Structure 1
Amino acid sequence: MDRLKDKLAIVTGAGAGIGQAIATVFAAEGAHVYVTDVNGESAQQTAEALAGQGLKATAMAVDVSRGQDVTALLRDVERAFGRADVVVNNAGLNVRSDFRHLTDADWVKIREVNLDGVVRMARDAFALLKASGAGSLINVSSIMGQRGLRQLAAYTATKGAVTALTKALAVEYAPYGIRVNSVAPGYIETALTERVLKNPLLSKALLDKTPMRRFGTAEEIGRAALFFASEDSLYVTGAELAVDGGMSAGL
């Protein structure tokens, strides 16, 4: 299938997990994908794996919390392609803590990646998305951005902000031919969630709240992102798609 044939896509946090799955789905659909990650070795391994399948990928070490890294990435894309058809803000992290024990350092760390990084990419990639003529900006938020859960207050705050930012940018960027949407994962089986999902008591409690009675896969998030990246969603902007097995509907 070639739903993204000849498209240029940038995916942050693509060295593993959800970002890697999004990059893989996009590349399989014909896109040339910039695989970026704070871990340059992981980004390179992902890009090499895609190239080994005859797919197109470029690896770059990018820490979205560092403005100079984002600038270098976008300059490289501009020199090589002159545009960006799809930008996926996936890079993120979490530090579990009761809010009363949250340190300033941990809060800054979470905010700088989960929110500041999204803001920086969404702002600085504007010209490249506009040059596409039909750009798609996709933010990976979370169903936790709409829910209050113990030890996730900081994470929830940043993801809720991403959801709000998505809607504001959808309105602002629409006149320039840029669509802005978000994908909100529920509990997805990745290294980031392994500790929680491997706990029998926590796992059962979460599955009891999930109508489909299973956890999601990273590829399923990739498929949701593909909808927003492709022409299947040409009249969709400002939307958030929950990919959570029905968890947010049942809470």
Structure 2
Amino acid sequence: MPRLQDKIALITGSAAGIGLATAQVFAAEGAHVYISDVDGEGADRAAKDLLAKGLKASAMAVDVSRGQDVSALMRAIEQQHKRLDVVVNNAGINVRTEFRNMTDADWVRLREVNLDGIVRIARDAFPLLKASGRGSLVNLASIMGHRGMRTLAAYGATKGAISALTRGLAVEYAPFGIRVNALAPGFIETALTERVLKIEAFSNALLEQTPLRRFGTSEDVARAALFFASDESAFITGAELAVDGGMQATL
């Protein structure tokens, strides 16, 4: 039997990249996936592609930094399904700049999406996850929450906060049958990383720090998300799984 048969799953930031790969994997495993993204047209295309394959999907335009968008998303899911079995808190952005040159506007935007958005989804999805009785919340942290790198200090701060939030929520949500875990991807080949990974000296240096000697794919992260979403991880909560080719092991 598919590992997510008849589950209702929400993946934020899922019109492309890691989120899209996760939606595709979850749908193939039997879930009805909600594809939510600030790119509403991209979300619609992704959902239509899944529907054309006979899979179950819905799409909504959602900016996780806007409370009204998140509230509307939860109302729509409640009206149609009354529950959520899985939430993958994936939506995020990056602002690469030397920290001393970062503007207040850059920091606010980074925080509003990467941290406030994660918090808002984790909070507002609680009643629907509780209704499931066996809910799973998966937060996307990052290896950058555990190591320092130039131009990524602010990004790393938001991701480090997600790691701490995951541990706290795992304890708080456990009495309601909700498991909370995090994924910490390393360098994954997506549109967000394409520009920097094309810099040969930079990419070679990163590969030297990666024991598996390759960059990750969106599917690598999606498969790890599937583990946390499924009953295969039924006795795991408060954990963070590095999906980084071994990079953390070299620290």
The TM-score range, normalised by the shorter chain, is: over 0.9
Tell whether 2:128 aligns with 1:106. no
Tell whether 2:66 aligns with 1:90. no
1:28-87 Cα distance to aligned partner (Å, 9 max, x none)? 000000000000011011111111111100010000000000000000000000000001
Q: Report the 3-state secondary structure (helix = DSSP H, G, I; strand = E; otherwise coil) of the residue aligned with 1:180.
A: strand
Q: Aligned ranges for residues 24-43 of structure 1 at < 5 Å?
A: 24-43=24-43
The TM-score, its normalising length taken from structure 1, stands at 0.99
- TM superposition shift of 1:196: 1.1
1:94-138 Cα distance to aligned partner (Å, 9 max, x none)? 001111111000000000000000000001110000000000000
Q: Which runs of 5+ in 1 are unaligned?
A: none
* AA at the equivalent of 2:189: E
User: What is the identity percentage for the equivalent residue pairs of Structure 1 and Structure 2?
Assistant: 69
Cα distance in 1, alignment partners of residues 14 and 163 from structure 2: 20
Supply the RMSD in Å over aligned alpha carbons.
Answer: 0.6
Cα distance in 2, alignment partners of residues 234 and 186 from structure 1: 25
Corresponding residue number in structure 2 for 1:229: 229
Q: Which runs of 5+ in 2 are unaligned?
A: none
Tell whether 2:248 aligns with 1:248. yes
* AA at the equivalent of 2:120: R
Aligned length: 251
Cα distance in 2, alignment partners of residues 113 and 22 from structure 1: 19
Cα distance in 2, alignment partners of residues 53 and 189 from structure 1: 25
Cα distance in 1, alignment partners of residues 11 and 164 from structure 2: 21
Corresponding residue number in structure 1 for 2:66: 66
1:129-155 Cα distance to aligned partner (Å, 9 max, x none)? 000000000001101011111110110
Q: Aligned ranges for residues 201-240 of structure 1 at < 5 Å?
A: 201-240=201-240
- TM superposition shift of 1:8: 0.1
Q: Which runs of 4+ in 1 moved over 6 A?
A: none
Cα distance in 2, alignment partners of residues 245 and 7 from structure 1: 30
The TM-score, its normalising length taken from structure 2, stands at 0.99
Corresponding residue number in structure 1 for 2:127: 127
* AA at the equivalent of 2:152: L
